[in-house]
Structure formats: structure tokens, C-alpha cells
Chain A
């Protein structure tokens, strides 16, 4: 077996004219744990998908795995056949099938060609899971397992598929967001064991503390290019953050007092959900508040919790009226003056098969129903006017919703909720998958609404947007607010820094004072 398990040279991938990965190279040696870092969209997942055969790289890409040169396009599971195991970001589990069946998906033992030895396979799977301390019924469908259990199943499955090999590569794409602290510790212990046995491990993470906890080497991608490759021992956190972000950080930003805003209209106390822990939050009248963090840190949950769309606990006070989140329904939240623009545009926000008109008026049909009749003419007029106002192209109320481009869908949905005249408008990734022009229009509408006194809470991972549009931004880590930025201290760089900063060491290494909130 060669000393280098994975060698990549000149790896490139271009979509149209846009390169997402350029001349990337990477070496993974026996027993090495290699962290691959970079911001969203820097090309990390693209590289992994190339090795897995999901994405075909540009010409000139040379990758060899376990001594075999890969010839693109790869056949299905070619890399797996050589001894490369993957845990992709989406985990690759079939929810409706049982835990055991999901293990079988990773391929049959060659000795099972003729007859599958079910009982032996079952006991192997059970042993693998137990060695990770995962106690789960093999015959339960995976959909019933918790996020944490699902992540563990995918990880254990990948490691188990390398069983019996004397060399192999384990590739983990952000395995930790859904794992609890002890799950992460167990994962790291297994990673160390595997590396001690001569396996190579490549893992993608956003959390810098994990780099120091487990990795030997680090490669940093920025805008599709390799910007750093060094041993962890030679690095300090400041340098690494700079390499990831591409600019140097000023140690201290001038802090400003929060801009004077109106009286508080939304006051949330002790809000907890799957990841959010005991969050306190106040939004003033006419204020735009951003809430952000790295994936899986809990910020994505906040709008849904406040709206009563997912189960959680805590209480909110909205325009002076108290609500218990445990019993809040979306219908009540709407009556109380909330609106929610979900992030999943065609799954939770709009209905592709219905018309634009039907989508826009869904929450406001009650107002169009007078004296026993739905006023269809009035509805059409109002929707036409709204589509014009929000710049939806084409402004055709009868167009099938799915036929609009993403940006126009989002503008129509924005209009849908502004029609309810919300006191507080909650938004989740309002500009995701939206082109630049539409993005600008969306922000204009948000600014106008604020001028009318509507308060807006934006949960987003677009730091640039948040910095420009918000009065205040809360950064969550592990379900808690770790930082609140406002005034001149509110910049995209500063948000990134707060998101990436190491959780445990706080102010000193992150280079900024961390304000407690609430």
C-alpha cells in the first residue's frame, strides 16, 4: 500500500463560465486526519462530490485513491469499491426503511454473493452500532430516529463499510452539526482509532475548535482555490480565520449603542427548540433584527418557533399579549400579528401547482369573503396591484406559481404576507436562490415596510445581506446567543468572525468582546 492514500492534482470544476473549483490539490496520507475548511460555496462539497462520482470534474483533473487512478466519469460506487467511504451532508439515508436496511445500502459483503447471511449481517451491524454506543432498534424506520441518531447511523455505516480492509479513506462532509457534545467526542475517538489503524480521514467542518481537537493537517478553500495547506501544529486561530475569510480582521471594531428604535413589539423569553436553548429576544417597532450562525447552531429554528410552526417551549409577548409557544399555532400567530416567510420556497412557502393569485391571497381570503361570497373580481384587482408593486414578472395572477423564476416566486410570497399587515414579519433565508436584481427589490420592500413601522426578523446565513439591512444581528452558537452586533460593529466580516470563533475560548482568541444578550 502506498503511503499516500488520496492524491488530487489540478482538480477543477466549472459550471457554465463560473469556476467553483480551480486547480485544487490535496494529499491524504496513511493515518492522517485532514480538515477541509472554507466558507459556504467555497468548493468543499464539490470536491467531495467529484471523488464520489456525483460531479464530473473539468479536464486535467487527476485523482488517485488507494493507488488507483480514477478515470472520469466514474462508474457508480467506483470510489466505494476501492475503499473510500462517505458521509455526505444529507447523510444519504432512506427514511422509510429500517436501520438495518440502510446498512445494507452500503453494499453487500462479497462472500454473500450466493445467499445473504442475514443473521451474520445483523449481528455485524449491531456490533458496529454498539461500538459507538448507539443503542437503536435495527428494525425501526430511520425516519423515527432523531437527527443525532441519524447522523450516527450514517457515520457508523460509513466506517463499517471499511471493515476488513487494511487501508481505506473516510470522507465526512460536515458530520457534526446535529451531534450532541458526547456524540462528537465519540466520533472523534473513532476517527483517532481509524487513523491509528492506518486509515486516512478527510473531514469538512465549520467549527475551528474541531480542527484543533482532532485534525493533523488543514486545507483551506476560498472561492474555489486552495489558499492554505499546513499542519495544525503550525497554525493559530487568527491566521486560520483570516485564511478562511480572505481579509485580515481588525482586533476591535468601534462599538456603538443600539440605534434608537421604537417600543418593543415582540418579546420572547426562554425559547427552546431542537437546538435553540433558552433564547431571549426583543424586537422593537420598526426594527430589523438579523439572527445567524453556522449551520445547525439553532438560528434557523427561531422564526418557526416564534410562529408556532415547530414544537418548542417558552413564551412570547406580542403587542402586549402573551402567548405560550408550547400551545401556539400558526393561525393564532397570524391573528396576533406575525407573518412567516419560510426558507423552503416550494415545500413550505408556496404551492407550485396553484396559481400565483391563489398563493398570494391564501392567508387573507377571509377579508375577501363578504356577505357570503368570495369577491373574485376584487381579489384579482388586489393581486394584480400587489404583483405590480412587488415587481413580479410576469404580473399574471393566473400563471402557475412554479412557472415563475425563483426571484419572482419570492417577491410574490413576500407580497402574500405583507397583505396581512404583520406587526412582526419573520423571514428565513429571504434571498436564498434569488438573483441579484430580485434581491435588491426584496430589500427595498423590506426597507419600505420598516418605514411604515413593521418590524422584521431575518434568519439568514447571508452575512453580507444581514450587515447591510439589519439594525442588529444576533449570532447563535450551540443554540445560544453568543454575540450581538450593531452600529459600526455590524459588518459581514465581523459576523463571519463571530460565527467561526472558537466556542470555548471566548474573547481572548476570537479577538473581540462577546456580549451576553438578554
Chain B
């Protein structure tokens, strides 16, 4: 964004004082902040429709406090999505983590810290298997992770079919304790968003991830270890999914082996919808943050209007389809517009001294 705003300033300077905003500014704003604007609209509409229930502090707390797990999951997917791999196994990994925490800490009697560590280790192991099959063996990621994800979901049920209650208060407190009116889980999500944003924007790794996805051969010939990056991004997805499982267990105070799968689609919806905002066309951290809470706000509002449980599936599904449609059209539109601008600069005689000065 820093780079971007400088270019805007640059444009204003170049086009003189007469024009306050660079050409295409409105379109640019709309495309960069479309979901943010939609989010605000949704809030306004539901606040008018349901002033008693929607526009309340309690509802605000529900919206922000309840879906930290979804945010963490979606953020964990971003590196793998950037390199162009679609990992479907994370819901299964999360389920295994949930079951392990419950089973080891309650049924076996391990300390909660050890149980959580075991869950994260299981996640890392699953990620290693995925990455090995996809990167080293060279299999299709969607197919491999569809298999491993289903396999892990089944294994989780084999370990423990029942919901385990009585999760250690240490974990529950570590997740649910309220800070500034919101549970710690939400702040973990914010922290992770910031971390991903930093990595994507302010470290070379962020660019390497992007380039490994859109131009693996160019990246490789530029000295980037593309395979290592793909490997790492798939491991990240699984480790973060396991982390989300630990957080979810703390949030619910119980380990339920049947809820993991419900997060599969919403997480993709959020990540794809997030790629249409802030840095349109790229999977990015704050875009994902906005997308998660836009989705949750919309669903909460619709549910308050009396629409029953089916609405969330319809809303998440529709959002995913609309998000990829919108981002595709947006990318085309932006390409055309920017290329026209470049073409006009190229033909602009004021630019020609540049070429002459090098002779």
C-alpha cells in the first residue's frame, strides 16, 4: 500500500494541479475496497432492519468473537494459495487436532500443553506427507489432499468417536479470556493477520510465494527454491489448521470430532473473497480478515432476520462463486485499464527524452 500510494501521488504530480485525483481513481477505490464497502452496507442495512438485535454490542461481540477459528484457518491457507496449490486436507487435519487434544488431555490424562503440542506435531506430520506427495512425488495437490483430508477425518473418528468435554480451563482461558471486550482468540487472529501481512509485504518470502505461483520457472531461474517454498507453504497450511483445531477446542470447551468439515468451504470462501480486496488479484492478509467478517456479519444478520441454519451454506457457497467471478472480471478490467495507461504513456512525447538521454 505504501508503494501504491506513492504511485498515486506520482500520478497527481504528473498530471498537474488541474486534476485532483488520478484517472480511474474511483474505479480503483471501488475495486480495492469493494468488499469493505459491501461490508459497511450490510452493517447499515441490518442495523436499520434489526436495530434491536443486530446493532448491539452483544451482537458485535458475537460476530468478532465467534469466528476467530475461521480467520486462522483462512490465513493458514494463504501461502499455499499464493503458490497455486489448493489444499483440501486442512479440515481433516483440524479434526485430528481437535480429537487429539480432547483424547490425550482428558481420556489419557496428559497435561494440556503436551496434548496441544501433540496436535500441532500431528498437523506438521500431515503437512509433511502432503508436501512430500505433491512436491517431491509430483502429484496433483487437490487430489492428494482430498484423499489425505478424508483419511485424516476418518482416523480422527477412529481415535475417538465421542465428543469429549471437560477440556482443561488452562486452554479455555487462554482462548476465551476477554480483552477489550473480545476473546483472546480474536486477538490471536489479528496477530496472525498482521504476521501474514508482514511476511507477504515486507519480506522477500512474500514475493517468492507469489512468483512461485504465477511463474514457477521464472522464479526458479531467478534463484528461488520453488520446491522448498511449495513444501513450506503446504506444511504451513496443515500446522495452522492444527492450531485452529486447538483454538476451537478451547473456544467450545469440548473436543467434537464432527465439526471440522464444516469449515472447509467457508475458509476457501474467505480466502478467495479476500483476494478481491486491498491487493486485488492476490491472496492477502487484511483482505482475508475483511472477507471473514463480512461473511460472518452477513450470515449473522440473515439469521437474525429469521432465516434458519441453511442460510450459512447458501451464503458461503454463493460468496465463493461470486468472489472468483468478481476477481476474474476485475483482473481483466484492471489489466485493460493499466495497459491503456501504459500505452498512452508510451505514446506521450514527454516521455521520449528518457530514451534520448540514454544515448
Contact = CB atoms under 8 A, between A and B. Distances in A.
A20 interface: no
Nearest to B208: A365
B222 interface: yes
Contacts of A444: 358-359
Q: Counting chain A CB atoms within 10 Å of each CB, which of B203, B208, B221, B351 scores highest?
A: B221
B7 interface: yes
A350 B22 CA distance: 28
Interface string A347-371: 1111101100110001101101100
Interface stretch (B51-59, B116-124, B212-220, B252-260): B212-220
B338 A394 contact: no
B204 A393 contact: no
A399 interface: yes
Instruction: Classify chain A: how many residues form its interface, as a range.
Output: 35 or more
Contact of A331 (B6, B223, B358): B223
Contacts of B339: 400, 402-403
A396 B342 contact: yes
B220 A330 contact: yes
A331 B229 CA distance: 13
A377 interface: yes
B170 interface: no
A362 B348 CA distance: 29
A394 B342 contact: yes
B210 interface: yes
A354 B338 contact: no
Contact of A330 (B201, B221, B352): B221
Contact of B224 (A350, A362, A416): A362
A515 interface: no
B77 to A, nearest CB: 21
Q: By DSSP majority rule, is chain B's interface helix, strand, loop, or mixed?
A: helix
Interface stretch (A263-271, A313-321, A383-391, A487-495): A383-391
Contact of A351 (B211, B223, B355): B211
A163 interface: no
Contact of B354 (A347, A351, A395, A400): A395
A380 B221 contact: no
A382 to B, nearest CB: 13
B358 A330 contact: no
A281 B210 CA distance: 37
B280 to A, nearest CB: 12
A283 B300 CA distance: 69
Contacts of B3: 357, 376, 380, 398
A437 B354 CA distance: 13
A441 interface: yes
B225 interface: yes
Nearest to A373: B202
Contacts of A63: none
A340 interface: yes
Nearest to A437: B355
Interface in B178-228: 201-204, 206-208, 210-211, 214-215, 217-225
Contacts, number: 119
A358 B223 contact: no
B354 A403 contact: no
A404 B2 contact: no
B335 interface: yes
Contacts of B358: 388-391, 441, 444
Contacts of A441: 358
B314 interface: no
B203 A358 contact: no
A344 to B, nearest CB: 8
B342 A399 contact: yes
B207 A362 contact: yes
Contacts of A368: 204
A374 B211 contact: no
A158 B220 CA distance: 37
Instruction: Classify chain B: how many residues form its interface, as a range.
Output: 35 or more
Interface string B220-242: 11111100000000000000000
A458 interface: no
A378 to B, nearest CB: 11
A334 interface: yes
A399 B214 contact: no
B355 A393 contact: yes
Contacts of B305: none
B201 A362 contact: no
A362 B2 contact: no
Interface string B1-15: 011101100000000
Interface in B262-312: 281
B217 A358 contact: no
A307 B211 CA distance: 20
A461 to B, nearest CB: 21
Contacts of B203: 369, 372, 374
Contacts of A400: 335, 338-339, 342
Contacts of B174: none
B221 A374 contact: no
A349 B218 CA distance: 5
B137 interface: no
A12 interface: no
Given A351-B214, A354-B210, A358-B207, A403 B355 contact: no
Nearest to B219: A362
Interface string A488-517: 000000000000000000000000000000
Nearest to B215: A351
Contacts of A390: 358
B343 interface: yes
A340 B359 CA distance: 25
A419 to B, nearest CB: 11
A68 interface: no
Interface string B319-352: 0000000000000000100110111011010011
Contact of A334 (B4, B223, B354): B223
Contact of B221 (A307, A389, A397, A403): A307
Contact of B218 (A348, A396, A403): A348
Given A376-B2, A398-B3, A398-B7, A354 B214 contact: yes
The 4 closest A-B pairs by CB, nearest first: A365-B204, A394-B345, A351-B215, A334-B223
Given A329-B225, A340-B221, A348-B221, 6 more contacts: A368-B204, A377-B6, A388-B358, A393-B346, A393-B355, A399-B338
